[in-house]
Structures are given as C-alpha cells and as structure tokens.
Structure 1
C-alpha cells in the first residue's frame, strides 16, 4: 500500500510526465473538473435559491393555506363572508403544525386620477396580520397600524405608485361598484407605506388597508370576514397539513394550498429540479471523459514502468491502484479549486447581487442563492465517486499489458 501510494504521488508531479502533451491533457482534465464543479455549484445554488425565494414570497403574500367559503367561487375577490368566530381562530390547536392564522377580505375597486385609472384589489387586514413576513419588501414609509380605531392608512405597491404617480402621504380615492345603487361607493385612503415584492401578480393589483373598510363597503357584520390565511411550519408538507386543516375547519368551509392556487408558478418552479439534474449529469460525464483520457495517456506513458512492476511480482490490481490513486489526486485538485471558485461566486452573489433578473419572468430582481453544507458535501462525494467508478474501466487495460513486451516499449 505504501509503495503504491509513493509511486502514485510521484506520478502526480508535473515533472514526472514524459511529454508536454501528456502534461497538457492532465491539466485539461483538472480544468474540466474545476469548470464542471463551478457550473454545478452555480446551477444548484441559483436553482435552489430561486425555488426557495419564490415559494417564500408567494406564501408570504397569500398564506400557505387559504380557508374560505365553500361556494365554488375561484375569483380573487371574496364575495360571501364567513363568521370570524371559528374553533381554529386565532389558534389552530387541532393542527400543531399551523403557526399563524389571520383573517382577510378582498374587494375589487378602481383608482382614478386626473389622467389615468387602474383596477385594483383592496386586501383588508386586521390587527392579527403578521407584517414580519413581508418586512423585507417594504421600501418606503411604514406598515399601516390597524390595532386601534378605524383609520385610513394603506400600503401600496411601488408598481401602482409609479404607474399612477403616487408618493408617500398622498390621498387615494377608490371607487367600488355597489350592486344596490347606481352610484359607486368611495373610499379615501392615505399612503403610509410602499412595498415592492417583484411578485408581479400581486404588485400589479393589490393594496392593503383596514379590513373594516371592506366590511363596511360589503355591508357585512363586524364579525364577518372573507377568508383565513393559514401558515405552517414546514412548507414541504403543506399538502399533508392541508388535509388535516380541512378536516378541522367544518363541512361548510374549504381549504386550498397556495400551490393549488398558483399552479402555474409552482409547476414552473418544479422544472428547476430537472434543469439542475441535467446540468449535473452533463458536467459529470464531461469531467469523467476527460479523466478517462488523462488516465489512458498516463498508462500509455508508463507502460514500461507497469511491465517492470509486473516482472517484480506486483499484481494487476496493485498496479491499477497506483494509477487510481493518481487519478484520485487529480480529481481532488479539481474539486478543491472548483469548490473554491464556485463558493466564492455564491457568496459574492449573496452579498453583492452581481446577477440581476427580470422580475416579470423570475419574480425576483436579483438572483437568489441557497446552498447548505449538506448539498456541498453530497455534490463533492457524488462527483468524486462517479468519476472514480468511470476510471475503473480504462484501468483494466493494465491487466492486458505483457511484462516482456512492455519493458521493450519506448
């Protein structure tokens, strides 16, 4: 074992190669592993980062699960109210995985200015609303306060503010169609905060105000709301938790996950897994092929040494291990530099936001990155083991080398 390791170590030095051509091939193999590792790390970090960020964002603005009236209405506007007094509100004790429940209501309206008008959805919120979930998206001002008496504070998106020419402190008049009257009802609100989520489906239409305004405009009672947004502690198990939530909400209410409500977004997000897997597969194959070529060249240049070792009684497997040890060293070098460069990029992207994306397509302005130690360890082990297994086949050539002929080999 020690002799095999010593010979493999000698083979690892650049000065031990007989020709500049073989040295170049070895370097190309190492560079291929480095490039492959950098590409895989970037693909995994950005893919997982986008998945995580988009899921968090859609969930933060919509809740993980929506409990609403079971009336078959799939519009974004809540039409039929449900009682606020529920066994699961404000604490969903029957399902421990539920971390928070908040009452909401939405009503479609129109904002009209001197030069333009825009259709919006006013999302009514109460004192139970968890602002911490969208704290990162507040860009100007502050969040409205709904804990005291009825007020006229509102939160508007930067998209709507820029489109309609609003700024902090401006007053906004919203018109609501009243089915019982030919005259639309009006609601006058003051902008105290501006948010930007880059989640265009939300930014283009939603503004947030006191839920009591929606109750008054809809002529609901004070203890009636439009729906309940439910948050859970493990989003990956949201469907399983939703089944239990549904069983504990009563027969006249339905519960639907944010995934079901935004099927197109989450189906698109799932494609990231396929893309990541495809990139990893291609990079491992490319790196493996380069290592196979490098090993074959090394065996060819060391044919005479192989013959001498065999003539001295060394077994085929022992000789093969010499070259496999050398290949392990080369793979290790490639992995080291690949991890160093790849992780340097990941941290640079995390703290400096080098790569920007189109929010219309990706729902974020800066490419998010996420990669845990477990992902890094699993990736390195997978690349190392798979490349090593690929090298077992070409190393079999050593068993076919004749000691007598190889010693004469020049």
Structure 2
C-alpha cells in the first residue's frame, strides 16, 4: 500500500449531500438510457411483428413464396426468418360503428380458418370479444365480404384512429385475392436485433436485392427490400428525438454531478488545510497530495454511482415485470413505460461520465498548490 492510499483511507469525510447528488444523477442517467432503449426495443419488435424488419416486394403483386433463389435469401447474414404475407384494406362493421382496417394474411394452422387476431384497441372500439363474429368488407371492383371469428387479441403498436391491423390465416386471404398457394403480396424478413439499425437494415436489404438479382430466372420477378425505417419514418424520427433528449439529460446530469463534487471536494480541502500544510512540510509533492484527495472524492462518486444504479435497476425490474406506470398508446405507441437494460451501453456511458467528473475535480485540486505550509500548519 503506498502513502497516498494509506492517507486517503484515514481521511474522514462522509459527503452525504455529494453522495445523494451523485446517486440522483446516475439514477436519472440509467433510467433515461433504459427507457430510451425500451421504446426502441418495443417499437422495433412491434414493427417486426406487424410487417417485418424488411419487406421484399416485386414490381407487381403477387410474388412467389418460394422463388428459385429462396435459399440464397435465407443465407444472407443477419436474416433470421422469411415469412409470406397478404395485405388488403377492408372495413369492419360493428353494431354501432365502422372501422377501417388492414387485413394481413399470415401463416396459421388449417384449424384456424376464418379466425382473426384483432388489436385490443379495435376490440374496445367495436366491443368485440374472443368468440364474437364480425363481417369484413373488401371493396374493389365489387364488394366482397368475409365473416371472421375473433380467435384472440394482441397489443398493436401501429394502431391509430381509423386504422387497425387484423391478422387472419394466409390461406383465407389467398383465396380472397385469387392467389395460388405459393403466392403472396410480400415476403417479410426478420433480422437479428443487433443488426436492426438504420445502416444495418439498409445493408441487409441491399444484400437481399443482390441475392434476388443474381439468382432469379427469366420468368421470376426481382425482389426489392424496403426497411421499416423507410416505411415508418415518423416513428423513427420520434425515436431519434428521444435519443437526442437522452443525450441532453446525460450531459446535464454529468455536469450537475461534476459541480456537486467540486463543491464537496472544496469542503474536504478546506477542512483538511492543516493536513495539506503538514504533508507539504514533510516534502510530499502537490501531485501526490492531490492524488490523496482525489481518491477520497472518487470513493464518494463510486458510492453514489452504486446507490443510483441499484435504485435504477430495481425500478427497471419492477416496471419490466408489472408495467406499473401506464402510457396513452395514442401518443406514445405503447401502453406502458418500456424499459430495456443494455448493460454494455450503461457501462460505457457511466465510465465516460465518471471520467468527466474526475476531470471536473482537477479544478479544486489546483487549490493545493496555493497552500503555504508556514501558515496552514498553525491553523487550528
């Protein structure tokens, strides 16, 4: 154990107010990161469930579900699954109201024929419960009607007033549209979450297009990839705004914590001014004396960080398990405050924040060089 460490351990300074300030700052930082990541995770997951991370479309509908280059599409790095879907707009008539919907045909067991999964918001709007039947009208050259039974409900991300996504068996929609069993409107691709960034999604979409371009036969269509960001730019603009706000919060909380530690370190220095003078008179250089007090201050910062992190993670566990705090999905796209703990991101931000706070504390440590041992050793 060197002299600086020994002296730092002997110095007594509780720094309760500084610890509380640090704990609050890092509580806010961790919650901001967790909630921002939660929104991005839930909305990306919802979009992936609605229409895939990437949608493969042809120059016209329908497209072949199993083109000759299908295996090449599956082998593209980052692709998790490829599923066919048939989309068609429709109108559902309830007892007292009508709603515009997008009907999506997805692969389901044959036993689910003419059953539908409807979003909870549509269930509330039309008073539909599991087991109830409803009629959906499809208007083209002529009006076609299909009667479905509610087989279940789900929490929809993309629901908005007058537009809901109803999921029905793919075979039912193929018959309605006159498609063959190997035809669909689009192919929907789910990709690895780690690759689901703006750049990553675009790269995978381009690779899928190249696989289609190089592998298609003369009588096959070339499929183009559309990313979720391209289809729903308003959602991702909103997420980018949240990320910008989180960055501002992190900077603000780091500065607040830094200035609190400056005041705390100044108090520590003034309380131990005679100790500083004694150490100087014994020949200890200014740099070593500053190291002693910076070690004490860093201990306070680490205690505050531990308390703040513990409180934030406890809240995340509680909110993630119970969805205690609710939101209006019309404004926030989800019905609860989402949390997603990204340990790597949190550790990176906290290491940078800790480094910045320690740099802040170099400012009051300059006070040590101004201390005159001939005067301070006489201070009682």
Name the TM-score, length of structure 1 as normaliser.
Answer: 0.83
Aligned residue number for residue 246 of structure 1 = 209
Aligned residue number for residue 76 of structure 2 = 95
Change (3 A) 1:401 1:81: same
Change (3 A) 1:93 1:298: closer
Mapped contact 2:100–2:164 kept (Cα < 8 A) = yes
Aligned-residue RMSD, C-alpha:
2.4
For 1:112 and 1:163, locate their aligned partners in 2 and report how far apart those are by CA, in whole Å: 11
Write out aligned runs for 1:15-30 (5 A): 26-30=15-19
| Superimposed CA distance per residue, residues 254-292 of structure 1 (whole angstroms, 9 cap, x where no aligned partner) | 220111111110121122222222111111111111111
CA positional deviation for 1:55:
0.8
Mapped contact 1:168–1:191 kept (Cα < 8 A) = yes
For 1:81 and 1:373, locate their aligned partners in 2 and report how far apart those are by CA, in whole Å: 44
Equivalent of 2:154, from 168, 181, 195? 195
CA positional deviation for 1:62:
0.8
Write out aligned runs for 1:365-376 (5 A): 365-376=335-346
Q: Does 1:289 align with 2:259?
A: yes
Q: Does 1:210 align with 2:180?
A: no
Change (3 A) 1:289 1:203: same
Q: Does 1:9 align with 2:46?
A: no
For 2:376 and 2:155, locate their aligned partners in 1 and report how far apart those are by CA, in whole Å: 72
For 1:175 and 1:167, locate their aligned partners in 2 and report how far apart those are by CA, in whole Å: 19
Equivalent of 1:390, from 354, 360, 376? 360
Mapped contact 2:116–2:167 kept (Cα < 8 A) = yes
Mapped contact 2:102–2:163 kept (Cα < 8 A) = no
Specify every segment of 5 or more residues in structure 2 that has no aligned partner in the other structure, as ranges.
Answer: 214-220
Equivalent of 1:331, from 301, 306, 311? 301
For 1:248 and 1:202, locate their aligned partners in 2 and report how far apart those are by CA, in whole Å: 39
Aligned residue number for residue 306 of structure 1 = 276
Q: Does 1:64 align with 2:53?
A: yes
Equivalent of 2:121, from 129, 146, 159? 159
Which of structure 1's runs of 4+ aligned residues deviate more than 6 A?
none
Equivalent of 1:270, from 240, 255, 259? 240
Change (3 A) 1:299 1:339: same
Aligned residue number for residue 37 of structure 1 = 26
Aligned residue number for residue 217 of structure 2 = none
Specify every segment of 5 or more residues in structure 1 that has no aligned partner in the other structure, as ranges.
Answer: 15-25, 72-79, 128-144
Equivalent of 1:82, from 52, 63, 70? 63
| Superimposed CA distance per residue, residues 221-274 of structure 1 (whole angstroms, 9 cap, x where no aligned partner) | 444321111112232322111110111224643220111111110121122222
**What secondary structure, in the 3-state scheme, does the structure 1 residue paired with 2:96 have?**
coil
Change (3 A) 1:178 1:323: closer
**What secondary structure, in the 3-state scheme, does the structure 1 residue paired with 2:338 have?**
coil
Name the TM-score, length of structure 2 as normaliser.
Answer: 0.89
Q: Does 1:122 align with 2:103?
A: yes
For 2:161 and 2:52, locate their aligned partners in 1 and report how far apart those are by CA, in whole Å: 13
**What secondary structure, in the 3-state scheme, does the structure 2 residue paired with 1:364 have?**
coil
CA positional deviation for 1:395:
0.6
Give the number of equivalent residue pairs: 369
Mapped contact 2:73–2:212 kept (Cα < 8 A) = no
> Quick check: 374-383 or 384-393, which moved more?
374-383
Equivalent of 1:232, from 177, 182, 191? 191
For 1:212 and 1:331, locate their aligned partners in 2 and report how far apart those are by CA, in whole Å: 61
